[in-house]
Structure 1
Amino acid sequence: MVEEITVLDLQVHRIRHLAEMGNGAILVCNRLENVEAGSGRIALQMPGFHMPAIGQFHVGQLMRVSGKICDWKNPRDGRTEKQIRVTHWFPIMPSRGNWAQLVANSPHFHGIGQAFANHAADRLGDRLLDAVAEGDVAFLLACCPAFPPEMARSLGRLWASWCRDTLAEWLSRFQLPTSALPHLDAAYCGCDAALRRLNADPYRLLAFGTSWRKSDSIAAKRFQVAKDDPRRLHGAVIHVLQKRYMAGDTVVAEPDLRKYVANLLHSDDAASSALLLTFRNGGFVRFGDRQFQLRGVWAKDTLNARSAPPQPP
Structure 2
Amino acid sequence: MNDFEQEKFFRITRPPYSSRKGRSFHAVQIDPDTLRNCNYKRNYIIHIVENNSDRLSLILAKGALVKLAVKKQYSRRVEHGGILTVITPQYLDLIRPSGEQIVIMLGSHARFKGVGPVKARTLWSTFGESLFEILDNGDIVSLRKILSENTAKNTIDAWRSYINIDAMRFCNAHLGLSVSTSFLVSDYYQQETISKVSEDPYRLLAFGVDFNECDRISVALGFQLDAPIRLAAAAEEALYCHLSSGSTLATRYDLDIWLKQLLNIPNNQEKTECYVNQAFALATSCENILDVGDNELQSAGAFTMEAYVAQRLVNLITNPSKLSIDEKRINFYINQYESKKCFNLNSLQKEAIFGAIKHRFLIINGGAGVGKTTLLDALYSVFHVNSDNKCNAHGA
The structure with the larger Rg is: 2
TM-score of the aligned structures, taking structure 2 as reference length: 0.40
Larger fraction in strand: 1
Higher RCO (CA-CA < 8 Å; seq separation 6+) = 1
